[in-house]
């Protein structure tokens, strides 16, 4: 399929800074909605709901609750993989893996106002995602991570820096990012950082989000 012009997308007004991936499996039975509310109070600017282990009805119920909460805070909700859930719950967009179908097909189904992201690990994948109309790419793993099983090579900040010079859409860095290395990742050219355990694994989600946000803001002030 041909290239898609995503100028109609609302993605240009998005604050990509602190992107929380709310993974149902990592939550280990905890209700994600109150955890997300606390994280947003701490500074989270985007939320992706990942619920690979849930049946469609459960997924939709959780997504609908989350959409209701985040809409009141003007925080975008992105759904992992499932275009049908995006349409059913009124989420702000979808995030696709390399095996989830191309972004131009998702765009046809969702329309120009939705945000579409694509996971990539190589420059070739990044170029293809951009060509097919993705609004952003999730690049990783930047550092080694135990949150998600993957055999993909660890890229490091230097590869992020190289891709930033060649890709025109925002790059969200993911994989092993925490308060100790967040500023380094932003310095390498990321538009934002995506985390799971750095917030959901913390005793206090609000405090963890706040600390991460401060690290990012510190780098931006230095620039």
Question: What burial letters (b/e) apply to 176-195, b meaning 16+ CB within 10 Å?
Answer: bbbbebbbbbbebbbbbbbb
Quick: pLDDT tens for 77-128: 999 999 999 999 999 999 999 999 999 999 999 999 999 999 999 999 999 9
> Among 6, 50, 82, 206, which one carries the catalytic annotation?
50
Q: Can you name the residues that pair with 77 across neighbouring β-strands?
A: 47
> What percent helix, strand, coil does the chain show, rounded to 5?
45, 15, 40
Q: Is residue 87 part of a domain?
A: yes
Q: Please report whether residue 150 resides in a domain.
A: yes
Return left, alpha or beta for 111; rule: phi > 0 is left, psi -120 to 50 is alpha, else beta. left
Does 119 participate in catalysis according to the annotation? Answer: yes
- Spacing of C-alpha 191 from chain mean position: 11
Domains: count for the chain:
1
Domain-embedded: residue 9: no
Dist CA 31 CA 9 (whole Å): 31
Q: 131 catalytic, yes or no?
A: no
Would you say residue 7 lies in a domain? no
Q: Is 6 among the domain residues?
A: no
Q: What is the CATH number of the domain that holds 132?
A: 3.20.20.70
- The per-residue pLDDT for range 154-213, each reduced to its tens digit, is 999 999 999 999 999 999 999 999 999 999 999 999 999 999 999 999 999 999 999 999
pTM for this structure? Answer: 0.92
Identify the domain containing residue 195 by its residue range: 14-222
Q: Is 50 a catalytic residue?
A: yes
Flag whether 8 is in a domain.
no
Cα 113 to Cα 101: distance, rounded to the nearest angstrom: 19
Helix ranges (H only) for 32-164 are: 32-42, 56-73, 83-89, 103-110, 123-131, 156-164
Examine residue 43 and state whether it is found in any structural domain, yes or no.
yes
* Options 6, 82, 107, 119, the catalytic residue: 119
């Amino acid at each position: 399929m041909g290239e898609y012009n995503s100028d109609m997308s609302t993605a240009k007004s998005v604050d990509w800074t602190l992107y929380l991936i709310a993974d149902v499996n990592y939550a280990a039975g905890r209700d994600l909605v109150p955890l997300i509310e606390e994280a947003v109070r701490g500074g989270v600017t985007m939320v992706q709901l990942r619920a690979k282990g849930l049946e469609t009805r459960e997924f939709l119920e959780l997504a609908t609750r989350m959409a209701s909460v985040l809409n009141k805070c003007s925080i975008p909700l992105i759904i992992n993989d499932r275009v049908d859930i995006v349409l059913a719950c009124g989420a702000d967009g979808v995030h696709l893996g390399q095996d989830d179908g191309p972004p131009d097909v998702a765009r046809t189904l969702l329309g120009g106002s939705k945000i579409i992201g694509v996971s990539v690990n190589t420059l070739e994948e990044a170029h293809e995602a951009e060509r097919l109309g993705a609004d952003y790419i999730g690049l990783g793993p930047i550092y080694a991570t135990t949150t998600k099983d993957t055999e993909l090579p660890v890229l490091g900040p230097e590869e992020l820096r190289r891709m930033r010079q060649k890709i025109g859409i925002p790059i969200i860095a993911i994989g092993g990012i925490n308060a100790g290395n967040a500023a380094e990742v932003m310095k390498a050219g990321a538009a934002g950082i995506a985390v799971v355990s750095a917030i959901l694994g913390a005793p206090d989600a609000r405090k963890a989000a706040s600390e991460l946000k401060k690290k990012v803001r510190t780098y931006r002030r230095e620039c």
